Amino acid sequence: MGSVDLQSVTKTYGATRALDEVTLTIAEGEFFGLLGPSGCGKTTLLRAIAGFVTPDSGRILMDGQPVERVPVNRRDIGLMFQNYALFPHLNVRENLGFGLSVRHRPKAEIAARVEELLRLVRLEGFGERKPRELSGGQQQRVALARALATNPRVLLLDEPLGALDKNLREEMQIELKQIQRELGITTIFVTHDQEEALTLSDRIAIMRAGRVEQIGAPRAIYERPATVFAANFLGAANLFTGMVEAREGGLTRVRLEDGSLVTTRDEAAPGRQVTLAVRPEKMQVAAPGEGPNRLSGTVSHEVFTGTAVILRMDFQGRAISVFAQNDGGPLPRAGEALTAAFDPANAVILTDPAG
């Protein structure tokens, strides 16, 4: 119960393609994140799954059944809005019972379910409050409980934690994940916050301009981004462009534009122009000297973050960052020379050229 299949879903508004041939399969019980910048189509996609947006073409299947023509109220979904949309004229109890009440369930059943939900989100004793008498975190929990009230087959969350401050957000991330695990409900959520996507999702789809850029487990996408956009949007990336020279001993040798030599475990045909991505934390400050995977330059500035120092250096006309652990060792300062090195396993060849 609760699989969602999207097949070439397309939606245009005037000249803009809000959704461009989106194809995705979300498995039962999966916690699936739609990540992207604003305007990438992620919210449109969520609204299409919910039934507020009718695709121009393509199919949306729930548990194998097409639902494009099924109205919102018969899709059997739970939807949590960014600003919660708790009914201001109803108290918490009435908000939670709304879904069952419109289905004409017996009063006793509704009351029992509401109690259960209040316990689930730890709001026993708040049943008589009006939404405006609750804190942001409490409102968020009521909204979640309300979306779960009818045991929907799919839970849809629109920026679920976006309206909370940072500390509360981290707390709620854990709680949300816990509740989702406990209930085993298929959950699709929209976020522009990469950390939230990484923490919560079983899998993530990175979206850009109405298209899905990359799908995968958080770790897989982070370690092996497919495109420049994916590499930059999920975490930070240092990009290098060059020409593949040869493949030998399990390593691909790439001659960068400035003449320096780097190697990667990724495969590419000799003569091809490639873009490589290396995460800042996968680069180390190395002893000066020549050799493969050693890049030299001058530190343009340094950012102290407490646990680490981010060293910036200009290389090939691009700023690259080296994430140096603050382990007490000496670190180069701004204006000083820096040699950064990385392991060939940590250099990823991207499928598109760097802009």
Among 312, 248, 318, 310, CA closest to 276: 318
User: What is the secondary structure of 27-88 as a DSSP string?
Assistant: -TT-EEEEE--TTSSHHHHHHHHHTSS--SEEEEEETTEE-TTS-GGGS-EEEE-TT----T
| Contact between 98 and other proteins per CB under 8 A | yes
Question: Does residue 282 belong to the site contacting other proteins (CB under 8 A)?
Answer: no
153 binds other proteins (CB under 8 A): no
89 binds other proteins (CB under 8 A): yes
How far does CA 346 lie from the centroid of its chain? 21
Closer to other proteins by CB, 154 or 299: give it. Answer: 154
Neighbours of 208 (CB within 10 A): 20
CB atoms within 10 A of CB 217: 13
Q: Which letter does DSSP use for residue 208 in this model?
A: E
**For other proteins, which residue of 1, 50, 236, 256 counts as binding (CB under 8 A)?**
50
Residue 53 sits in the site that holds other proteins (CB under 8 A): no
Task: By CB under 8 A, name the one of 16, 54, 73, 325 that touches other proteins.
Answer: 73
Q: What's the min distance (Å) between Cβ of 196 and other proteins?
A: 21
Stretch that binds other proteins, among 44-52, 115-123, 160-168, 334-342 (CB under 8 A): 44-52
Window of 74-82, 120-128, 179-187, 207-215 that interacts with other proteins by CB under 8 A: 74-82
CB neighbours of 125 closer than 8 A, spacing ≥ 6?
118
Residue with tokens 């979640």: 144
Q: How far is CA 134 from CA 81, 99, 170, in A?
A: 16, 21, 19
Contact track, other proteins, 122-151, x by CB under 8 A? --------x-x-------------xx-xx-
Least CB distance to other proteins at residue 68 (A): 16
Subset of 103-122 contacting other proteins (CB under 8 A): 103
Cα–Cα distance, 260 to 292 (Å, whole number): 8
**Residue 34 binds other proteins, judged by CB under 8 A:** no
Per CB under 8 A, 71 contacts other proteins: yes
70 makes contact with other proteins (CB under 8 A): no
Select the residue interacting with other proteins from 4, 18, 19, 79 (CB under 8 A): 79
The site that binds other proteins (CB under 8 A) totals a number of residues, namely 29
* CA 286, 290, 292, 295 torsion-angle sign: positive
Q: Give Cα 36 to chain centroid, integer Å.
A: 7
List residues binding other proteins (CB under 8 A): 50-52, 71-74, 76-79, 81, 83, 85-89, 98-99, 102-103, 130, 132, 146-147, 149-150, 156
